Amino acid sequence: MEVESKSGFLATLSKITQSESFAGILLLCCAVLAMIVANSPLGEAYATLWKTQFGFSINGTFIGMSLEHWINDVLMAFFFLVVGLEIKREVLFGELAGFKRAALPIIAALGGMIGPGIIYFTLNGGTPSEHGFGIPMATDIAFALGVLATLGKRVSVSVKVFLVSLAVADDLGAIIVIALFYSSGISFAWLGVSAGIVILLIILNKLGVKALTPYMILGVFLWIAVHSCGVHATIAAVVLAFTIPVAPKIDTMHFMEKITKIVDHFKQAEKEKYGILLQNEQIHALSEIGNQKKAVQNPLLRLEHALAPYSSFVIMPIFAFANAGVTIGSNIDFSVDHVFLGIFLGLVIGKPVGIFLFTFLAEKLGIATRPTGVTWTEIFGAGALGGIGFTMSMFVTNLAFSGEHALIATDVAKISILIASLTAGILGSIFFLVRDKITHH
């Protein structure tokens, strides 16, 4: 009975973690927990924890970083690697494959970045906070998917596909913005080293190297070079993702032929077997099946499937817990320039308006067409959910501000992101619920 209840519990747990909404809910829980801890008696210990230095010394020289930097620069590199792999997959085989299919989500994403950017810059241009224009530009896929999952059948599959492909294109835009506007003084020597490593990665790809290990080793060196040259290190992970090969070692026909032969050998050895122990030939056959299984898989998909659960259920929650904990007290000055209004209006109004306008213009000018069955009201609703900008917005916030008011502006920006993302999620949900009620009357 106990075993049954345990297996039932594990089955339920597996079902929960595999649901589309789980990653978003987990992210929200970690953000809320961070806020609670930061404003509790543990607040000081929480703040000190992230500043703790981790590393080692060689001849008195410390090599390492604070825990905060390990999370934001190293752990998040894996998140960006997964994002890069998703973008490459979508561009080659998914909703961004081919100009006609890619045009609409890319144009919509562009509108969803320009709209909030203009609002933020209009309110903060000429102030020390003007560099934060990239904060309201991003859409958080995990949160947006979580909200869509809770809405269920009220949102059509076409709208879900549109929002996901828009969010992927949006991620690519955010990566370009980080590379162009949030990089410090460039070291051209290290930039040259980075370029050399990228060339090596491309050569590996062109030579048809399918094993992932050489790519990952070169990826570590690329991270170090990019980190040293002044461009944000997580960009290295995206570049690495674009060089990961797609084609498998063997095609499915070869795989089936080889597996049939291996199984035949296995059966033959079974006839000569005594007792329950496997023959050496059978053990070898099982090992060979494992090799063939790897050979028929796309290296890109294999890496994405291996890393995606860690990215969704470990890295992003840790990032949320480390970055969302803002102490709300006298240090929070909402009057600091117009950071709060810029982010709030950017995400809640700029996103849906920008996405809707650019999509509308793209269709009217004949550049792109809406997916079959998707109405303009649904495009606006998807744009409203696009205003959920948690992870990438928080990431840009850590890079955006400098000078005396940086700490205050960063805290205000983080609270603004939480409030705006929550508002966008609620408004987007209400929009689809009301539309559903109207259409069914």
* DSSP output for 99-131: HHHHHHHHHHHHHHHHHHHHHHHHHHTTSTTGG
What digits encode the pLDDT tens for the residues 316-371? Answer: 899 989 988 888 876 677 777 889 999 999 999 999 999 999 999 998 998 888 87
Query: If you ran DSSP here, which 8-state letter would residue 58 be given?
Result: E
Residue with tokens 């990089």: 183
Average of per-residue pLDDT across 271-282: 69
Q: What is the pLDDT of residue 10?
A: 60
What digits encode the pLDDT tens for the residues 161-205? Answer: 888 888 888 888 988 898 888 887 788 899 899 999 999 999 999
Q: What is the pLDDT of residue 149?
A: 77
d(C-alpha 244, C-alpha 99), whole Å = 23
Q: 60 or 236, which is more confident?
A: 236
Where exactly are the structural domains of the chain? 21-54+62-183+232-247+307-440, 252-295
Q: Confidence class of residue 3 from pLDDT cuts 50, 70 and 90?
A: very low
Lowest mean pLDDT among 142-146, 216-220, 229-233, 234-238: 142-146
CB 166 within 8 A of CB 428: no
Q: Is the pLDDT of residue 2 over 60?
A: no
Residue with tokens 């992932």: 212
Nearest residue to 142 (alpha-carbon basis) of 380, 343, 388: 388
Q: Is the pLDDT of residue 405 over 70?
A: yes
Q: 405 or 322, which is more confident?
A: 322
Q: Is the pLDDT of residue 376 over 70?
A: yes
Helix or strand holding residue 228 (H, E)? helix 212-229
Predicted model pTM: 0.81
Highest mean pLDDT: which of 256-265, 348-357, 408-417? 348-357
Q: What is the pLDDT of residue 350?
A: 95
How does the average pLDDT of the chain come out, rounded? 85
Q: Confidence class of residue 275 from pLDDT cuts 50, 70 and 90?
A: low
Q: What is the pLDDT of residue 1?
A: 47
What digits encode the pLDDT tens for the residues 26-40? Answer: 888 898 999 999 999
d(C-alpha 330, C-alpha 82), whole Å = 39
Q: 12 or 70, which is more confident?
A: 70
Considering the chain, what percentage of its residues have pLDDT values greater than 70?
A: 92
Helix or strand holding residue 162 (H, E)? helix 157-181
Homologous superfamily assigned to 21-54+62-183+232-247+307-440: Na+/H+ antiporter like domain (1.20.1530.10)
The torsion defined by the Cα of 85, 24, 154 and 101, in degrees rounded to 10, comes to: -20
d(C-alpha 244, C-alpha 213), whole Å = 11
Average of per-residue pLDDT across 122-126: 90
